[in-house]
Amino acid sequence: MLQPALPGAAVKRHVFVTAGLNDLLTDPESAAEQRARFVDLRADLDAFIDGGNLTFCLAPFGARDERIARLAPVDKGLCEFRSRHPKPGIRVIGGFAARDSFIALGWHFRRDLGGAGSRAWRAACVEARRIWDGSAPSTADL
């Protein structure tokens, strides 16, 4: 679970990240060429953890300035956490295990995903869903 970067900050929501993403967000030596960009992503995720008001787009392909958006097809339950500024934008793909618990399954620079519905987007969603199906408990276990 990602802990707030600011010691003692309130934890009102939870973000669970992969080991690789955690390293990029917390290790000052990782991804040196993109370090500043990951610091900004970390601030965006901390805003969620701290309980900040974030906009949520329910319609796939309809997000503009929203910070979180549903991905198509909606029956797969995936969302993207959108860190848009500064460029390059980053998309963290995952799902909500509960109302205030986001599980990050992968991340991508937005430029690498191409247009809406592109092969790269579909591949990213398929991979995230594969991870989710292999690691998430069934609803019978909850």
Instruction: Find the DSSP H helices in the chain.
Output: 19-26, 35-49, 119-135
User: Residue 30: what pLDDT?
Assistant: 63
For residues 18-31, average pLDDT:
80
Residue 7, in any domain of the structure: no
Residue 4, in any domain of the structure: no
- Residues 117-140 have pLDDT tens digits of 899 999 999 999 999 888 655 544
User: Residue 5: what pLDDT?
Assistant: 82
Residue 94, in any domain of the structure: yes
Q: Which of 26-35, 45-54, 69-78 has the lowest mean pLDDT?
A: 26-35
Residue 25, in any domain of the structure: yes
Residue 123, in any domain of the structure: yes
Mean pLDDT of the chain: 88
User: Residue 32: what pLDDT?
Assistant: 56
Q: Which domain holds residue 42?
A: 14-141
Residue 93, in any domain of the structure: yes
User: Residue 34: what pLDDT?
Assistant: 77
Total number of domains constituting the chain: 1
Better-scored residue on pLDDT, 136 or 45: 45
DSSP class per residue in 83-124: E-SSSSPEEEEEEEEETTEEEEEEEEEGGGG-STT-HHHHHH
Residue 9, in any domain of the structure: no
Residue 97, in any domain of the structure: yes
CA gyration radius, the chain = 15
